[in-house]
Structure formats: C-alpha cells, structure tokens
Amino acid sequence: MTAAVEHRGPAPSRAVLAPFARAGGRALMLGHVHPDADVLGTLLALGLALEGRGWSVAYGGPHPAPAALGFLPGVDRYRVLPGVEGAVDVVVLTDCPNPQRTEGLLEQARRAAGVVVNIDHHPDNRRYGDVNWIDVSAAATGEMVYELLQALGCPLTPAIAGNLFTAIHTDTGSFRYSNVTERTFRVAAALVAAGARPALVSEWLYERRAPDALAWLGEALRRVELSEDGRVAWLALPAGVLPERFIESEELVNYPRSIASVRVACLLREQDGAVKVSLRAKGDVDVQRIAAQFGGGGHPSAAGCTLAGRLSDALPRVLAAVSAALDPAPGGSRPAP
C-alpha cells in the first residue's frame, strides 16, 4: 500500500472492498484488549465469510474471548496471541479506535501484513490502518460488516448472521439506545432471516447468571448514589468488595443509568492501583468529551477512561467533570452537542 485511505460513508467504498476482492488469501482477524461482542462478532463474521471464499484465516488478540460469549459461532477459533508469526495478506481490526489497545500486536502484524484494514464506528478512531473505514452513524461495527459482506456478495450463513446479530444486539443495549436507527432494524431483520436467533442470544446474554450473582448484585445496588439534583448517579466500587468475575459479567453502569432523572451515570471500579471509569449519558450530554479529559474515549453516550490512583481521589474528579459538562460555565468554550 502507498498512502493510507480513509472512507466515512455507510456503504463500503472500492478501496475498502479491494483487500478482500480476490478469491483466496491469508487474513488475521485481530482483536483488542478485553474483546466484546461487537469486536468478536464482526471479526468472526468477516473471517468466516472469507473462509467461505477460500481464504485461510486466523483469529486472536491479547486477551481471550470472555466465557459469556462462548456461544458465538466459531469463537473457539479465537486465540490469545503471544505474537504475530508468519506473513499475512490482510490484517483486519474491527471496533478498535486506538491501536495501543492491541498491546503491540498491531505493530508486529504491520510488519507481517500487506494491508491493515481498520473498520470502526468510534468518532475518536485514530485512523491507524492502510485502509480506514469509519462510519460513526453505525450503531455497531456489526452494521458495517453486514454492509461489507453484502457488497462483497458473501452469503450470510446462520453462523455469520448469529455473530453480526449479537454484535448489534450488545452495542445497542438490546436495541434500546439512542444509536438505534431504521438501518439497525433493517440489518437485524436480514440477519434473523439468515438464521440469527434473537431469543437464544438474549438467553445467553441475560439469563445465564451464576447462582450467587443476585446476592452480589444486591451488594452492588446498595452502593448506588444519586446527586442532590438527581441528574448524576454513580456506583463506586473499592477494590475487593465484589468478585472480579461478577463485575466482568454485568453491565453494572446500567443500574444507575436506569433512574428516571439521571442524565449521566458513572461506574468507578478500583483495581490494581487505578480506577476504571465507565460513563453513560441519556440525552444531550457528550460523555466521550468527559472521558477524553482523562485520556479515555468512546461514543457520545457511552465512554470510558482509567485514572491512576485511588478511588477516593478519582471519584470527586470525575463528578466535577460530569457536573461541568451538565452545566457549562456561561461563555465557556464547550461546543454545541
């Protein structure tokens, strides 16, 4: 490749299609740290489609696929990669705004690969690929990969459809969030027609809690706090109060978010000398801007960041930033949302 290419539209351009156009090749589907269903579902869907066209495909990243996503068709092929060995024709990253989130694997892959393709819907994507397709109007990268497979003429097998449906299902909070559009439902309908099973996905995602999880959930919910004006709710978890396994298996930030008056919900979690922060907005507050103040990123209504130090220091800093975003100073420099 010579100069890097950037494409922003909802339909893939010829430059986006070109790396996948040939009949066979070698591809690495590269995930980022703590891969979620949008990452895994899209990597697996595109990889399985390429395999159907005679490609040889490897799947992996710095961390394993979470056990809760063990139902994704083909996820057993996804490996923890200590490094990237051997040459490949194409490396694909999906839903990965920041190349540092591959923990060095992208740099190794770049040396081994003909082309790096970056497919994402995050507004703060760093455009690190040779081909960068960034569609911020997509609710999930799953919508983009659906369009890509349609444009390539790849048949939607039930396995491919199940992966893409799960990607869209999770990134939209089960089709509930403000990122959901007519297109989301159109794509989801096509995926169900192709064999995705919505009830099965819901059962795997929401009805497979461990027997002790409800007691831990009670412990978590007891700690939710609400600001005086009711617009901010937060859940602050000191290290060790809840099992890691439980926290990883729940979207705990959704509980403070569910209070009617809340505009911004925060989950702060102390771990290994740092505090991981998840932010969610309902309506007009851009939490991506808040996360960016602390070196993080995400989407306008769902973002995250990590602060060094203790929970007792991080909590007031985060709440102050949220408060400033809710009530910008008169004449301040905050751009219109």
Q: Determine the residue with CB nearest Mn ion.
A: 38
Number of residues that bind Mn ion (CB under 5 A): 4
In the complex, least distance from residue 167 CB atom to Mn ion, rounded to whole angstroms: 7
Rg (CA), the chain: 20
In the complex, least distance from residue 325 CB atom to Mn ion, rounded to whole angstroms: 22
Q: Find the helix or strand (DSSP H, E) in which 77 lies.
A: none
Pick between residue 74 and residue 125 the one whose CB is nearest to Mn ion: 125
Position among 38, 130, 135, 270 found at the interface with Mn ion (CB under 5 A): 38
In the complex, least distance from residue 171 CB atom to Mn ion, rounded to whole angstroms: 4
Pick between residue 33 and residue 213 the one whose CB is nearest to Mn ion: 33
Pick between residue 26 and residue 42 the one whose CB is nearest to Mn ion: 42
Give the full edge-to-edge strand order of the sheet including 302-308.
Answer: 224-226, 232-237, 264-271, 274-281, 302-308, 297-299
Pick between residue 25 and residue 35 the one whose CB is nearest to Mn ion: 35
In the complex, least distance from residue 64 CB atom to Mn ion, rounded to whole angstroms: 19
In the complex, least distance from residue 95 CB atom to Mn ion, rounded to whole angstroms: 4
CA angle 273, 95, 213 (to 5 degrees): 55
In the chain, the amino acid numbered 259 is I
Spatial distance between the Cα atoms of 329 and 186, rounded to a whole number of angstroms: 42
- Contact status: 135 vs Mn ion (CB under 5 A): no
**Choices 64-72, 90-98, 255-263, 288-296 (CB under 5 A): range interacting with Mn ion:** 90-98
Pick between residue 95 and residue 147 the one whose CB is nearest to Mn ion: 95
In the complex, least distance from residue 291 CB atom to Mn ion, rounded to whole angstroms: 15
- Contact status: 95 vs Mn ion (CB under 5 A): yes
**Choices 98-106, 140-148, 174-182, 310-318 (CB under 5 A): range interacting with Mn ion:** 140-148
- Per-residue DSSP letters for 7-73? E-SSSPPHHHHGGG-SS--EEEEE--SS--HHHHHHHHHHHHHHHHTT-EEEEEESSPPPGGGTTST
Q: Please, which of residues 168-197 interact with Mn ion by CB under 5 A?
A: 171
CB 23 within 8 A of CB 54: yes
Neighbours of 97 (CB within 10 A): 22
Pick between residue 89 and residue 171 the one whose CB is nearest to Mn ion: 171
Q: Please, which of residues 152-171 interact with Mn ion by CB under 5 A?
A: 171
In the complex, least distance from residue 174 CB atom to Mn ion, rounded to whole angstroms: 14
The closest of 222, 220, 302, 227 to 262, measured between CA atoms, is 227
Greatest Cα pair distance, the chain, in angstroms, is 61
- Contact status: 120 vs Mn ion (CB under 5 A): no
**Choices 63-71, 139-147, 217-225, 302-310 (CB under 5 A): range interacting with Mn ion:** 139-147
The sign of the torsion formed by the CA atoms of 172, 175, 177, 182 equals positive
Which residues would be at the binding site for Mn ion (CB under 5 A)? Answer: 38, 95, 141, 171
